[in-house]
Amino acid sequence: MAAEDVKLIGMWASPSVVTARIALNLKGIEYELLKEDPCKKSELLLKSNPVYKKFPVLIHGGKRICKSHLIVEYIDQVWSSSGFPILPADAYDRVTSIFWATYIDDTLNSQIGELMLNEDEKSKAETEEQLFTALQLFEETFVKSYKTKTPRLVEWAECFCSVKAAKKVLPKLKNWWSSGHF
């Protein structure tokens, strides 16, 4: 698939955009990243996502798909023969994955964004605590681990971040996983 057929509207450091880019990379899909300024939204973004007016937006053959978890599902279905499946084939496992992807988008990614942009130390500390609480819920749901902060989530994150498709697009930020914050 040529890059001119697939476009992604977003900001390179946005966790939701990174999610979509990793999915495209996993499937080996060439795409053009249309860089968006979060403070000055383009006409294309507003036209492409008139309801939420947010990125990411995937444009494929004139079709527009919004929200990263829906973009991932679309990529997985449209390019099912490329690469390996991203989402589980089992219907229950698939909707559970999409539920948690939505939780990550709506809760974790917004808090990570606040940490990246906020310069007020008190607000940052409050957001960091909220993020930690959300991460604890996330990990407890999967592994019921209460002995340390989030050891299995940290292990998974380190493994995920080492995958070539992820390394290509992950922003070079302070390493939160090994800093003791989580």
User: Which residues are CB-neighbours of 17 under 8 A, at least 6 positions away?
Assistant: 8, 10, 11, 33, 55, 56, 68
> Does residue 177 fall inside a structural domain?
no
> Does residue 74 fall inside a structural domain?
yes
Q: Given this model, what pLDDT does residue 54 score?
A: 93
Q: Given this model, what pLDDT does residue 146 score?
A: 40
- Which amino acid does the sequence have at 79? W
Domain that holds residue 70: 3-78
CA dist 180 and 149 (Å) reads 9
Q: Given this model, what pLDDT does residue 140 score?
A: 80
> Does residue 175 fall inside a structural domain?
no
CATH of the domain at 65: 3.40.30.10
Q: Given this model, what pLDDT does residue 143 score?
A: 66
Regarding whether 99 and 63 lie in a shared domain, the answer is: no
Q: Given this model, what pLDDT does residue 159 score?
A: 79
> Does residue 172 fall inside a structural domain?
no
Regarding whether 115 and 65 lie in a shared domain, the answer is: no
CATH of the domain at 129: 1.20.1050.10
Please report the beta strands in the chain, taking only residues with DSSP state E, as ranges in sequence order. Answer: 6-10, 32-35, 57-60, 63-66
Closest by Cα among 29, 24, 2, 35 to 68: 24
pLDDT tens, N- to C-terminus, the chain (182 residues): 555 699 999 998 888 999 999 999 999 999 999 999 988 999 999 999 999 999 999 999 999 999 999 999 999 999 999 988 999 999 998 898 898 888 888 888 888 878 877 788 998 899 899 988 988 888 787 666 644 556 666 677 777 778 888 888 876 644 544 454 44
CB 150 within 8 A of CB 140: no
